[in-house]
């Protein structure tokens, strides 16, 4: 039998439990993940949002440092070399996106709850590294609705839309790998469900 010196035992409990405060939100393109997350953050400013780094170019509606850290390919390579990412992936066969480890750990050590809004590949990497985290898949009511939302959003070219829908088909098959599936039919209801899961 191993007897742990009490302060050490307490430290272990703290380290293990802090990852329970991580909620990973994934789901296919244009399903409404960003809108759901924005609604939650507006009403729960105590939650830390993990701002990812990406090599994609900025959209007119976005703010650098708030929506993403928009960085160059060379800067992304440098972060990989420095082990700065908890996970990273090339999404839609186009651009790289990654979760920065240091600011996330700072928030968790400060006792905060954290939300990561990432793709399926990233979610699976996090599940291997942080099995105590909670994984939520946001699903569309139908695949046709997903296509409609992508058209309505009008932020991608036709070629990019084809790529995104191809990824979406693959991602939809993985929903059973998640702890929870929330169907985004009614936005407010989906937000309420996600909040309930985060604070359960
Ligand atoms: P968008 O270009 O539409 O903002 O995002 C494209 C995809 O990249 C979305 O599915 C989004 O969830 C995902 N994504 C955003 N940040 C990250 C990240 O840090 N890591 C991974 N793996 N995917 C991300």
What is the whole-number distance in angstroms between the Cα of residue 171 and the centre of ligand 1? 13
Candidate of 49, 52, 137 to mutate for ligand 1, largest count of ligand atoms within 8 Å of Cβ: 52
Within-domain flag for 56: yes
Within-domain flag for 2: no
Which residue minimizes the CA distance to atom 19 of ligand 1? Answer: 98
Residue 67: CATH number of its domain: 3.40.50.300
> What is this structure's pTM?
0.90
Which residue minimizes the CA distance to atom 3 of ligand 1? Answer: 29
What is the whole-number distance in angstroms between the Cα of residue 121 and the centre of ligand 1? 10
Paired residues of 41 in beta bridges: none
- Residue 145: how many CB atoms within 10 A of its CB? 14
> In a structure prediction context, what are the per-residue pLDDT tens digits for the chain, which is 200 residues long?
555 666 666 655 555 579 999 999 999 988 999 999 999 999 999 999 999 999 999 999 999 999 999 999 999 999 999 999 999 999 988 899 999 999 999 999 999 999 999 999 999 999 999 999 999 999 999 999 999 999 998 889 999 999 999 999 999 999 999 999 999 999 999 999 999 999 99
What local confidence, expressed as pLDDT, does residue 67 receive? 95
What is the whole-number distance in angstroms between the Cα of residue 7 and the centre of ligand 1? 39
Instruction: Select from 77, 127, 112 the least CA-distant residue to 98.
Output: 77
Within-domain flag for 5: no
What is the token pair recorded at 139?
């699903």
82 vs 80: CA distance, rounded Å: 5
Within-domain flag for 6: no
Strand 69-70 versus strand 85-91 pairing type: unpaired
Within-domain flag for 63: yes
Which residue minimizes the CA distance to atom 1 of ligand 1? Answer: 29
pLDDT in tens, 119-156: 999 999 999 999 999 999 999 999 999 999 999 988 89
The answer to whether the CB of 116 is under 6 A from ligand 1 is no
Paired residues of 54 in beta bridges: 70, 97
What local confidence, expressed as pLDDT, does residue 17 receive? 73
- Residue 156: how many CB atoms within 10 A of its CB? 18
Which residue minimizes the CA distance to atom 9 of ligand 1? Answer: 119
Q: Which atom of ligand 1 is nearest to the CA of 56?
A: 2
What is the tally of structural domains in the chain? 1
Within-domain flag for 122: yes
Within-domain flag for 12: no
Within-domain flag for 4: no
Residue range(s) defining the domain that contains residue 136 = 18-198
Q: Which atom of ligand 1 is nearest to the CA of 85?
A: 19
């Amino acid at each position: 039998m191993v007897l742990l010196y009490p302060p050490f035992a307490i430290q272990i409990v703290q380290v293990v439990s802090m990852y329970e405060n991580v909620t990973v939100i994934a789901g296919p393109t244009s399903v409404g993940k960003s809108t759901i997350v924005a609604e939650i953050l507006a009403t729960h400013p105590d939650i830390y949002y993990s701002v990812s780094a990406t090599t994609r170019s900025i959209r007119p509606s976005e703010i650098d440092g708030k929506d993403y850290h928009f960085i160059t390919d060379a800067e992304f390579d440098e972060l990989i070399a420095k082990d700065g990412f908890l996970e990273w992936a090339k999404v839609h066969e186009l651009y790289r996106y990654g979760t920065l480890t240091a600011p996330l750990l700072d928030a968790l050590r400060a006792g905060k709850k954290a939300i990561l809004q990432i793709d399926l590949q990233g979610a699976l990497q996090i599940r291997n590294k942080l099995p105590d985290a909670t994984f939520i898949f946001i699903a569309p009511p139908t695949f046709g609705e997903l296509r409609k939302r992508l058209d309505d959003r009008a932020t991608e070219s036709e070629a990019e839309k084809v790529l995104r829908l191809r990824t979406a088909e693959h991602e939809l098959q993985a929903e059973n790998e998640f702890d929870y599936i929330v169907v985004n039919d009614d936005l407010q209801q989906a937000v309420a469900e996600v909040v309930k899961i985060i604070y359960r």
